[in-house]
């Protein structure tokens, strides 16, 4: 986690790299995170999670595939990967065949890891801030976030799903490695791995969004102490949020886990 400060800011703000996982190993910083959320005026996520509660029909429309991709894949091949994925994750993709394949892959990725907590880490933080009565906001809109996904050609998304079905064991191993890096707070190695996974789409999924995120985070911090939680892959690198926020004149200081029990 990183503390954001500057002469033009009304108080200290925080930037935290989270993961959308139910693996208990990712929850080790909760005492520190809860304390820092308590110090802030608002909590900002990548998008305001209240949007997904308010209009489930609208959310489903955003996630809907514009073409019948399962038919493009062919029924025989679809049923084959359906059986493989159900065995590996317990998820029956026949119930999701009208959704974007990219979103299905994301959901399968969450289920291939241990399912030990009742909600993912990012939602746990949001819910805690909501319980404290903090102002809640999002950097992007839910619709804006998924526009990036919808710009990925459907053929590429189908390939992502097929590749997932071909190598579920290696993908599980890969995700366990990411969780281990996250637990060690090795966000630099984590960013490197996530950047590699993004492939040709890192420009749209990471870099372009980072510039917009940095502008929004800077704006939030100028109007009140803000705790911002974004995907850990957005933090480091030459075009990461840490560097971009420094370029905007903010002081960015690492807050180590062992400071969780140390008062200010």
Q: How many domains does the chain have?
A: 1
Q: What is the pLDDT of residue 52?
A: 66
Give buried/exposed letters for 93-118 (b at 16+ CB in 10 A, else e). beebbebbbbbbbeebbbebbeeeee
**Full residue range of the structural domain in which residue 187 is found:** 2-261
Find where tokens 């999002």 sit. 138
Bridge partners for 2 per DSSP? 15, 254
Q: What is the pLDDT of residue 5?
A: 95
**The residue count for the chain:** 264
Q: What is the 3-state secondary structure (H, E, C) of 45-103?
A: EEECCHHHHHCHHHHHHHHECCCCHHHHHCHHHHHHHHHHHHHHHCCCHHHHCCECHHH
Closest CA to 175 of 20, 13, 11: 20
CA–CA separation, 222 and 215 (whole Å)? 11
Instruction: Please give the DSSP secondary-structure letter assigned to residue 259.
Output: G
- List phi, psi (to 5°) of 258: -70, -10
Q: What is the pLDDT of residue 192?
A: 81
Bridge partners for 64 per DSSP? 99
Sequential pLDDT tens for the chain (264 residues): 999 999 889 999 999 999 888 889 899 999 999 999 999 999 999 988 777 665 556 667 778 888 899 999 899 999 999 999 999 889 999 999 999 998 899 889 878 887 889 999 999 999 999 999 999 999 988 777 777 777 888 998 999 899 999 988 888 888 888 888 888 888 888 878 777 766 666 676 778 889 999 999 999 999 999 999 998 889 998 899 999 999 999 999 999 765 433 333
Q: What is the pLDDT of residue 183?
A: 86
């Amino acid at each position: 986690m990183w503390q954001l400060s500057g002469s033009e800011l009304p108080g200290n703000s925080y930037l935290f790299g989270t993961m959308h996982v139910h693996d208990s190993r990712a929850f080790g910083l909760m005492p520190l995170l809860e304390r820092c959320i308590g110090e802030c005026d608002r909590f900002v996520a990548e998008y305001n999670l209240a949007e997904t509660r308010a209009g489930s029909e609208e959310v489903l429309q955003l996630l809907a595939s514009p073409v019948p991709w399962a038919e493009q894949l062919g029924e025989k091949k679809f049923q084959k990967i359906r059986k493989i994925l159900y065995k590996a994750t317990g998820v029956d993709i026949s119930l999701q065949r009208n959704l974007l394949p990219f979103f299905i892959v994301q959901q399968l990725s969450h289920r291939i890891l241990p399912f030990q907590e009742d909600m993912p880490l990012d939602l746990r933080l949001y819910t805690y801030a909501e319980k404290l009565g903090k102002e809640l906001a999002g950097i992007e809109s839910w619709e804006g976030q998924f526009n990036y996904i919808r710009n990925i050609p459907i053929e590429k998304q189908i390939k992502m799903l097929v590749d997932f079905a071909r190598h579920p064991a290696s993908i599980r191993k890969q995700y366990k490695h990411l969780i281990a890096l996250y637990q060690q707070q090795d966000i630099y190695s984590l960013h490197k791995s996530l950047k590699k996974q993004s492939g040709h789409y890192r420009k749209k999924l990471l870099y372009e969004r980072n510039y917009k995120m940095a502008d929004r985070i800077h704006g939030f911090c100028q109007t009140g102490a803000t705790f911002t939680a974004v995907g850990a892959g957005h933090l480091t690198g030459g075009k990461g949020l840490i560097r971009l926020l420094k370029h905007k004149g903010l002081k960015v200081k690492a807050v180590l886990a062992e400071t969780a029990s140390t008062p200010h």
